[in-house]
Structures are given as C-alpha cells and as structure tokens.
Amino acid sequence: MTNKTPDFAELSRALKAGEVSSRELTEDCLQRIEKTDPQINAFISVTPELALEAADAADKKIAEGSAGPLTGIPMAHKDIFCAEGTRTTVGSKMLENFVSPYDSTVVRNLKDAGMVCVGKTNMDEFAMGSSNETSYFGAVKNPWDTERSPGGSSGGSAAAVAAGLVPATTGTDTGGSIRQPAALTGLTGLKPTYGRVSRYGMVAFASSLDQAGTFTRSAADAALMIEAMAGFDERDSTCAEVAVPDYSATLNDSLQGKTIGVPKEFFDEGLDAESREAIETALKQFEDFGASVREVTLPNLGMSVPVYYIVAPAECSSNLSRFDGVRFGYRTEQSGDLAEMYTNTRSEAFGDEVKRRIMTGAYVLSAGYYDAYYLQAQKVRQLISDDLAKCFEDVDVIMGPTTPTPAFKIGEKVDDPVQMYLNDIYTIAANLAGLPAASIPCGLSQGLPVGLQLIGPQFAEGRLLNFAHQYQQATDWHSQTPPLFDPTRVGGAS
Amino acid sequence: MSWEVVIGLEIHCQLATKSKIFSGASTAFGAEPNTQACLVDLGYPGVLPVLNKDVVSMAVKFGLAVDAEITRRSVFARKNYFYPDLPKGYQISQFELPIVGPGHLKIRLDDGTEKTVGVTRAHLEEDAGKSLHENFTDRTGIDLNRAGTPLLEIVSDPDMRSAQEAVAYMRKIHQIVRYLGISDGNMQEGSFRCDANVSVRPLGQEELGTRTELKNINSFRFVEKAINFEIERQIDLIEDGGKVVQETRLYDPDNDETRSMRSKEEANDYRYFPDPDLLPVVIDDDYIDAIRAGLPELPEAKGERFAANFGLKPVQVESLVGDVDLADYFEAVVGDGADPRQAANYVLGDLTGALNKDSLDVSDSKVSPGQLAGLIKRIMDNTISGKIAKDVFDAMWNEGGDADAIIDAKGLKQITDTGAIEAAVDQVIADNPGQVEEFRGGKEKVLGFFVGQVMKATQGKANPGQVNQMLREKLKG
C-alpha cells in the first residue's frame, strides 16, 4: 500500500482479498487511540471488546462472501448517538454514566452495514459549542496544532479522523458542527438534508436543525457511508420518505455546463485573506471542469446567526428539560425538596454554555417575548430559506468558505460567546433551510486547513458529492495530513 | 342582589386507543407501575414521538358530532413545565391550532326546554403519569403507565348558568363520546374528568366576574357539588366586601369544599411552541367525508327514530338513548321480536333495577337481549301474565336459563282454559256473598278484590283479562 490513507474502496478490496482482516484494522485503530489520543483527547469512551467482537463478525461475513462495501471498516460515533450497552455522555456531566438501553438508527444502520465501532468521540456539551471547549471531558486538540481547537461541536470526531485514529466518524450538524470542524481539520464533512438521516436515538439539541452526517477523508468514502446511514425511519416523524440514491454511481458525472453560485455575502471583511485565496483558487479549478461560476446574493444571510441563536436555544431549552434527575443521569446529593432537586441537579451537571442557551431559550419563548423573538425568528428563517431556494433556480451548487478563519487557539474565544457564535456565520443558513451541505479541504492558511463549503438544494447530496469527488480527483488537499501526527496509515507499513 | 353564575368546562376524555398517542406502549388500565411505559414514554435521551393516527380520526369524529369546524392543519405544541410525573419536562398538546374548532350541542334543562352550549375547541394531548404519595415515607413514587395516554380536551364556551346545566352538558359530552366509541368514559378510572371555570356577576352585568378553576373532578355528582360550593363561596365573599382571586382550586369530596391550589401569580408560563419533532396534522375533505360517512347514529337521531318507530313516551326515549349500550340492548330485544313498549318497560324497569342492584353495566347483563325477548313473547302470546313474568325474570336473572324452560319447570303457564277459570270464579263468588252484595249495590271497586281472590286461587296463572271479564258477567247476576 501507498503511504497515502487508503480509502474505503481500497480497504474493502484489501479486506476481501484477505490482505488484512477487520480484526487487524480494528486492533490497529485501538492501538493508535491508546498511543495518540492522550495528546488530542478525541475519545470519551473506547470500547475494545465490542469493537473486536464486531470485527470478528465482519471477518466472518467477509469469509462467507456476504460483505458489503463498508463491512469490517473501523469507525467511531460522536457521543451523541445512543448505542446499546455503551455510555452515551453527550459531553456532559449530566450523562457521564448514562448507558443507553437502545441503539440509535444511525448506530443500527452502520452496524448493519458491517462497520466496526471502536468508541465514542468527544464533543461540546450537548453539541453546544464551536470549539469543543464546552465538553465536560475536556477540550479536544486540533491534530494540525495542538494549541488550537479542531472546532465543534463534533470536534472529537474530526480530530480522530484527522489524526488517523479511525478512517471515519459520525457527527451531527445543527449550525455547522460537522462542516466547521471538517474545515478546521482538513476533512470531508457532509451534513445531509434535514430528514435524510433519522434523528432517532440522537440526543436532541435543536430538533428542527439537528442532522447526522459524516467525517471522512474523501467524498467517495462519504458517499458510501451516507448511503448506509440514510433512509426513512418510522420512528422519526421528520425523517423523509425519499428513496436513497446510489451516491457512488454519480461521483464521476461530468461537471461540464454546471453552474456554481457564489454568495457575495460570504466574502465579507471577516474572511481571512489566505482562506479567500484558497477558495478562489478552488473555484477556478471547478471552472476547469467546465462549470461556470456566478455571483449570487443571500440578502438575509446576516440575520442567520441571530435567528439561529433564538431558534436553537428555544428548542434546546425544552429538549433538555428531561434531564431533571428523576429517571436517569446525574442527580444532586443535596435535595431537600423537589424544587431544590431540580435546581441543584441541573446547576451542578450542566456547563455554562448549556445554561446560557437554556436561559436564552426560555426567555425567547416566554409570554410577552414569544412574538418578538421566536415568532419573528421563524419568519426570518423562512426568508433565508427563500433566498437559498431562489438561488437554486439559477445554480446547481452554492460554494464559499466554510469558516471565516482557519483553526483558532484554544481559549481564544471561549470567554466571548458572540465571537464564538460568529464562527458559524457561513454554515448556519444551510441548517435553517434544511439543505445538504459539505466542507472539503481546499488549501492551507498559515499552515492550517481551509474548508470549501458546498450547499445544494434539498436531497442533492449526490450532487455535492459529485462536485467534491471531481475536485478531489484533480487535487490532493484531502490527502494532506497533519505533520505533527504523520499518522502511520491504517492497514499500511509505518 | 341577584347573581348570575357563569360556568365553562374543560373535559379531559381519554381516547380508547390500544396504544399510546406517541408510542407503541399499551394503554390498558391497572397494570403494575411502570410496566407500560416504553423509552418514549420515559422521555429517554434521543427518543422521538410518532403520532398514533387513530387519535386523529377519533378527534374528527367528535368534531363532526358537535358540528364543529375541523382544522385542516393542526399543530402539536409543547407545554413546558417541570413535574416528576411529566417525563420530558413538557407535555405534547395542541395550543394555537387545535384539531377541532368551534362547535355546539344541545342540552335539555330540567324544565324540559333545550339550550345550546358552544364548544370552543377540542385538542389532542398526552396525559402525564401519576405521582404516588401513599405507601411512601418521605418520598414520592412515580408511575408512568399513564404517561402518553391520549386525551381529547374538550373546552366549552362559558355558556352554563348553573351547576345543573354544567352537569347536563358534561353528561351530553359523555353520551356523545360513548356513542362514537372514542372513549370508554370510565370516570372511576379517570378516563373522563373535568375542570370547571366558575365565576359570578350581578344579574344584568355584561362583564364577566373573576373566575376560579376547579381542577380534576371525576364524577357528575362532584361536578354539581363542587360548582355549587364554589358559587356560594364566591357570592358570600363578594357580599362580605371581599374579592374573588383568580386561582386554581381543588374540590375535596370528603369535606365538600374547594381549596386554593395556586394563584394566577404562581401560575406557570408554559412557553408553548410548535413541537419540532412532529409534523402538522393535515386533514383533507376526503378524509373528513369518509369519517362522516362512518359516523354511528347519534343520540338525537336515535331518540327521534325510537319515538317514531316504537311509540314510546318521551321520558322512555330519553332514558333509553341516554346510554348507548342500553339503547343497543333495547334494540336487540325488539329485534328479537319483542313488543317495543313491553321491551322498553322491561329494559328501563326490571332490567335496570337488577343491573343497579348488582352494580353491573348493561354490557355485563346476566339476561341477554334474546332471553328478555323470549320472556316478553310469552307475555304477548298470553302464555304467562305480566305478574308471573316478573317472577320468571327474577329466576332468569338469579338462576339463569331461558323463559320457556323456567315456565315449564315451575309450571307457570297461564290458565286460559275457560272451564278452569270459571270454576275458580264461581267458587270465589260463592265464598264471598257479602262482597257480591256490595258490588251489586254499585261499589265497583270490589271487583279488584274478586280478581285478586281468583288469581290467588289459580296461583296467578289465570289470564287477568279473562278473569275480569268473566267476573263482571257473573257478578251482574
């Protein structure tokens, strides 16, 4: 094997050819985690026994000839997905010892596809954060520079793949929580259309925005993984009854004659100059494929952060009410009466950012403020959706930067929530409109990865993956690995 | 000063689904605590609600029955508050867009007149669990079996002017949901309960007085008592120079009084907002038409039909259609060939008496409609007298068996043989010369004495009509 990271197709070929077993791949991942994770803190739980059991089952399937394209490939789940018999902490003290009695649909689907889960990755508490610093289990470090944040909230999932600990991870994206960390760690991150992947068993942050997706090196890998994760689930009423296409089949479609819209609002003064350069170079690359690039406008984009910070906290304030110390999770030792039990349980087990959002959410929903905040935010949300829909009348894909800057330093923004929130200025619109969006690496700024964001119309995941794959066929940015880790390649020689 | 009472009711009616409104767990009553609560009911991290579609058709049935607007796009909302028996920290309900909009129904008042009461709305929601305070020291037990049970909350306009009217309205709603088969209406098990909003104002005043809300009343009798207590309390308070405070009060049936639970100031801000986990419920005309076509006959229509087809008295009709099971029983008796008037007399008389005595619902009757029809047919064909029939009914109820078998076994067959009756009549006339004189002297009432004596002599088996006629002829001399 080359010292390039093998993609799923190569891993699957090697597994089926008997060049390597799933057990070997899994043991290799477990060793990497043991050796390297203390430096980056990407994992909350590692489950070697369950992993090796699953690997052996995969090897059996491979031997029987009934293996699929993902059978035997190791991965890890963001610790927001319930997995039966496994601790699911959501990065919070509240669920530090919560062992889920059931599998989320995402976990179940990838298990059924034969992927081998080696553990659960670190994340901002209840997915609330853009730097992974709100995790009760400590900040995750960016493998490109361990003084920097890998982004959040799926920071552990991003860092784990970037550092070569596992070939792929799942994440969730409520306002950019897959795309932003993917950008800051040089990975391909895909957030599908709202309703494309079931939310059942995914601990809710903001129900109307949350969507599960993937971290992989390449778009080709993401295509395989999303295909296995997606699909209708009767246990999630918001899950779409739309057939899942063969995403791999359209990866090589020609981009000749396609149109790319570039919102002028994405290129504001907040955008780092080197990042802008990388994005512009990437756009030229797409022109070389025969696609045309045109400027579009999203007049209400500036409202997306304020709207998001009304809608998401409103939903979270209600979603997190169930963590009351009565039935599961943390319960205070100090409870003289019921009110005290509630107050102390929640005061002691929720972190500051979670509390801030619960309070904001309760405020915007309260009598007398509902119309001015929540209702108004829903109206503006519709306008932002309409802006995007209008763009897609003329263009196939929208492109721009994923984040204003490359990875920032741990501690740099943690005391300034507004600065932190602005990190998601380019990503939030896709969540508000429920659209599929991806981030792919497209260059470096100050030696750190820069992400190119792709946004498509509803259920156009295949189109995004097609654009991304074409780009990755012609460029090498997705194969760049953090020099610090120079990871020994999975399945290869050191 | 004269006072006018203003009452509105919020009735919580448990819908008769097999599984819960947002999960597959069973709704059966009386299971061991927490054995009928699945992960969704327990509000586990990551679980999601999925609407049980049966509740939609049930709510629409109710809406059509009270001539209400059916909302084409209704929305589930979260009502947020913390309580240990509320697992998610919010109740899924409907707020701004309930499935059933304004409607109305008619109630009959004590003076026989009818009054129209407005139904403001009816919305779907999930029930909470139960807090158990008994059998726990310094602790509260939580039973979540009831959590997620489907409820239809039916809100009336403030149209009732007395406790009696409120009860008549509540009975009417009870009757309708039982007819529709959307609720068992079982008040002991809490399947049908109400909150009453009560206020008083000086007669003639337009503006409403300050209201209090009486919570969770679970019998018709308690509704009446609670409201009457509250009316008196409010009037006394105002007449003594005080003011009614807007608050929630609890009725205590043991002491027949209402007690303050919490005032408006302490009331929760429920922070309602549309539940993002559930899609709006969209209903089209075809759906409504299909449900309308499948609606069962409702009390009014049934009453009109009974009156027209069976020649019953209005009071009998009202009693029969009051309970759908009783009405069905009656129709089954008639359907088996019994005379409708006899059937009504028996159903409302002996049968109802026997059911009450044994505390049974008509659906658990020990005498089937077919058996009762068999008995009535024997009266109709003069096999037995009405008086003997009562004994036969008692035997059927207590010992079981068909009328014919009991009549045969006990030798109760009526004597229609003229010779045998004549012999008894002659004997009685011969034995009572004094009374014969009285009758002949114009004292007609004595005839009853003779009839009684003849019936006694024949152990009640003589045909009373025949006896009567024969006595008259013979006594005339």
* DSSP per residue, B21-87: SSSS-B--TTPSTTSS--HHHHT-TT------THHHHHHHHHHHHTTPPBPSEE-EEEEE---TT-T
Interface test with A, best of B75, B139, B273, B279 (most A CBs within 10 A): B273
Q: What is the pLDDT of residues B327-382, one digit of tens each?
A: 999 999 999 999 999 999 999 999 999 999 999 999 999 999 999 999 999 988 88
| Per-domain boundaries in chain A | 15-298+383-479, 303-368
The pLDDT value recorded for residue A490 is: 46
Query: Whole-angstrom distance between the N-terminal and C-terminal Cα of chain B?
Result: 72
Residue among B44, B49, B279 whose CB faces A328 most closely: B44
By three-state DSSP, how is residue A235 classified? coil
Say if the Cβ atoms of A201 and B279 lie within 8 Å. Answer: no
Q: What is the pLDDT of residues A435-448, one digit of tens each?
A: 999 999 999 999 99
* A350 chain-B contacts, CB cut-off 8 A: none
How many interface pairs between A and B have CB atoms less than 8 angstroms apart? 99
Q: What is the pLDDT of residues A187-227, one digit of tens each?
A: 999 999 999 999 999 999 999 999 999 999 999 999 999 99
Give the residue numbers in A contacting B (CB under 8 Å), as ranges.
81-82, 88, 90, 95, 98, 100-102, 104, 199-204, 206-208, 234-238, 314-315, 317-318, 320-324, 326-328, 338, 342, 362, 365-367, 370, 374
By three-state DSSP, how is residue B432 classified? coil
Say if the Cβ atoms of B49 and A317 lie within 8 Å. Answer: no
Q: How far off is chain A from B25, nearest CA to CA, in Å?
A: 14
* B140 chain-A contacts, CB cut-off 8 A: 338
In chain A, which residue's Cα lies nearest the Cα of B84?
Answer: A326
**DSSP category for residue A148:** B
Say if the Cβ atoms of A102 and B48 lie within 8 Å. Answer: no
The pLDDT value recorded for residue A486 is: 61
Q: How far off is chain A from B83, nearest CA to CA, in Å?
A: 9
| A8 in Cβ contact with A14 (< 8 Å) | no
Strand partners, B35: none
What is the average pLDDT score of chain A? 95
Say if the Cβ atoms of A324 and B82 lie within 8 Å. Answer: yes
Q: How far off is chain B from A245, nearest CA to CA, in Å?
A: 24
Q: What is the pLDDT of residues A455-483, one digit of tens each?
A: 999 999 999 999 999 999 999 999 999 98
* A366 chain-B contacts, CB cut-off 8 A: 269, 271
Position A416 pLDDT exceeds 50: yes
Provide mean pLDDT across the span A295-321.
97
Distance CA(B425)–CA(B447), nearest Å, equals 12
Q: How far off is chain B from A323, nearest CA to CA, in Å?
A: 8
* B46 chain-A contacts, CB cut-off 8 A: 81-82, 88, 100, 104, 200-204
H helix intervals, A131-253? 155-162, 179-185, 219-229
Alpha-carbon separation of residue A443 from A368, A478, B23, B291, B398 (angstroms):
48, 9, 49, 62, 93
Say if the Cβ atoms of B47 and A201 lie within 8 Å. Answer: yes
Distance CA(A190)–CA(A231), nearest Å, equals 16
Alpha-carbon separation of residue B302 from B179, B328, B346, B363 (angstroms):
10, 10, 19, 19
CA angle A340, A341, A344 (to 5 degrees): 75
Q: What is the mean pLDDT of each run of 10 residues along chain B (477 residues)?
A: 95 97 94 95 97 98 98 98 95 97 93 94 97 83 95 98 96 96 94 96 94 92 95 96 94 89 78 98 98 95 94 92 94 95 94 94 94 92 85 92 88 76 86 87 86 86 83 81
Say if the Cβ atoms of A326 and B142 lie within 8 Å. Answer: yes
Strand partners, A452: A401, A440
Give the residue numbers in B contacting A (CB under 8 Å), as ranges.
39, 42-51, 78, 80, 82, 84, 87-90, 140, 142, 269, 271-273, 276-279
| A406 in Cβ contact with A145 (< 8 Å) | no
Position A488 pLDDT exceeds 60: no
Residue among B49, B269, B276 whose CB faces A208 most closely: B276
Say if the Cβ atoms of A204 and B90 lie within 8 Å. Answer: no
Match domain B418-475 to its CATH number in 3.40.50.1000, 1.20.140.10, 1.10.3720.10, 1.10.10.410: 1.10.10.410
Residue type for position A450: V
| A132 in Cβ contact with A31 (< 8 Å) | no
* B80 chain-A contacts, CB cut-off 8 A: 317-318, 321, 365
Residue A255 neighbours by CB under 8 Å, 6+ apart = A286, A289, A290, A291, A466, A467, A470
Position A3 pLDDT exceeds 90: no
Residue among B43, B51, B277 whose CB faces A207 most closely: B277
| A456 in Cβ contact with A397 (< 8 Å) | yes
Interface test with B, best of A326, A341, A431 (most B CBs within 10 A): A326
Position A492 pLDDT exceeds 70: no
Q: How far off is chain A from B270, nearest CA to CA, in Å?
A: 8
Q: How far off is chain A from B44, nearest CA to CA, in Å?
A: 8
* B42 chain-A contacts, CB cut-off 8 A: 327
In chain B, which residue's Cα lies nearest the Cα of A80?
Answer: B46
Alpha-carbon separation of residue B390 from B218, B277, B321, B345 (angstroms):
36, 62, 24, 12
| Per-domain boundaries in chain B | 3-288, 297-410, 418-475
- A327-336, A374-383, B443-452, range with greatest mean pLDDT: A374-383
Active-site residue list of A:
78, 153, 177
Position A336 pLDDT exceeds 80: yes
Distance CA(A14)–CA(B331), nearest Å, equals 78
Match domain A15-298+383-479 to its CATH number in 3.90.1300.10, 3.40.50.2000, 3.40.50.720, 1.10.1670.40: 3.90.1300.10
Provide mean pLDDT across the span A43-70.
98
Residues of A473-494 as b/e, b for ≥16 C-beta within 10 angstroms? eebebbebbbeebebbbbbbee
Q: How far off is chain B from A321, nearest CA to CA, in Å?
A: 5
Pairing mode of beta strands A188-191, A212-216: antiparallel
Q: What number is the ipTM of this complex? A: 0.95
Say if the Cβ atoms of B46 and A366 lie within 8 Å. Answer: no
The pLDDT value recorded for residue B446 is: 86
* A210 chain-B contacts, CB cut-off 8 A: none
User: Cα torsion at B404, B409, B413, B419 (round to 10°)?
Assistant: 150
Nearest in space to A353 (alpha carbons), one of A153, A147, A148, A81? A153
* B44 chain-A contacts, CB cut-off 8 A: 82, 101-102, 322, 327-328
The pLDDT value recorded for residue A68 is: 97
Distance CA(A316)–CA(A130), nearest Å, equals 16
